[in-house]
Amino acid sequence: MAACAFVRCAVVGHVEWTEFALVDHVPAPGNIAHAYDDWAEPAGGGSVVAVQIRKLAGTCDFITALGDDELGHTCAERLAEMGLSLTVEWFGRTRRAITLIDEYRERTITTFGPKLRPNASYDFSGYDLVFFIAGEPSVLRAARAATFLAATTREVPTLREGGVHLDLLVGSGRDPGERYDGDLDAGVVVATDGIDGGVANGSRYAAVPAPGPVADTYGAGDSFAAALAYGLARGDDLDSALALAARAGAGVVTGKGPYTSQIWA
């Protein structure tokens, strides 16, 4: 593992104002579920990755887009309180989501409105790590100026259009929406498989047990991806970076929501 050193990091991605509910079950069509706890906060892949990287690197710039509305400004305030340095493009309407967490602590997500994608001009030449979660192809091309560029398989169409080399491509091997057929220029490709670990560049790696009772699984994959990208960007070998990532993914599931149990450096 590399010695600890300052890594200048940025995340480009989306935010969803998310209402969470712990329910006795996810209802079948025509049925009713009963929530016994609920809360709301800014979430989505962009913010979860950015906050986890900030906890590991000490600082993280987060480039996002929000509606110039009450929810958008609330999201910005909350994310700033979590230590992110924000650059916000204000347009459209802030995306919302409802997340139901069932008796097995699995999450089911419904989103409302389109994903707002950053589309302005940025200079990433001074960054050691940029993690591209969501944005327009022009922003992806600009992000290639960073020393290390990571991306998620959720955005394969944008990655194809952007046409740049990716140092890391990571996503769920279980989610059909993150299916990847191997047609991108990527140095390290990782497909996660929950408690069964996953596959990195064709070889299986193991998960690690959660350090406590599982509260909910929201944010586990994004926290894993964030820690993996950070580890590789600071110079860890792949096995060491995967170990850090596995610890991050296991840690987050023991807390309420995606942020309370993310790991720190």
Tokens matching residue 71: 């929810």
pLDDT tens per residue across span 102-111? 999 999 999 9
Tokens matching residue 120: 């302005």
pLDDT tens per residue across span 109-167? 999 999 999 999 999 999 999 999 999 999 999 999 999 999 999 999 999 999 999 99
pLDDT tens per residue across span 187-222? 999 999 999 999 999 999 999 999 999 999 999 999
Residue reference for tokens 């070889």: 203
C-beta atoms surrounding 235 within 10 Å? 15
pLDDT tens per residue across span 29-67? 999 999 999 999 999 999 999 999 999 999 999 999 999
Separation between Cα atoms, residue 191 and residue 153, nearest integer Å:
9
Separation between Cα atoms, residue 25 and residue 151, nearest integer Å:
33
C-beta atoms surrounding 105 within 10 Å? 15
C-beta atoms surrounding 143 within 10 Å? 24
Contacts of residue 10, Cβ cutoff 8 Å, sequence gap at least 6: 60, 61, 62, 63, 124, 127, 129, 130, 131, 143, 146
User: Rounded to two decimals, what is the model's pTM?
Assistant: 0.96
| Confidence (pLDDT) at 1 | 47
Residue pair 222/52 in contact (Cβ under 8 Å)? The answer is yes
Between the alpha carbon of residue 252 and those of residues 73, 140, 222, 261, the distances in Å are: 26, 28, 10, 5
- What percentage of the chain carries pLDDT values higher than 90? 95
| Confidence (pLDDT) at 59 | 98
C-beta atoms surrounding 158 within 10 Å? 18
| Confidence (pLDDT) at 4 | 57
Angle between helices 238-252 and 220-233 (to 10 degrees): 150
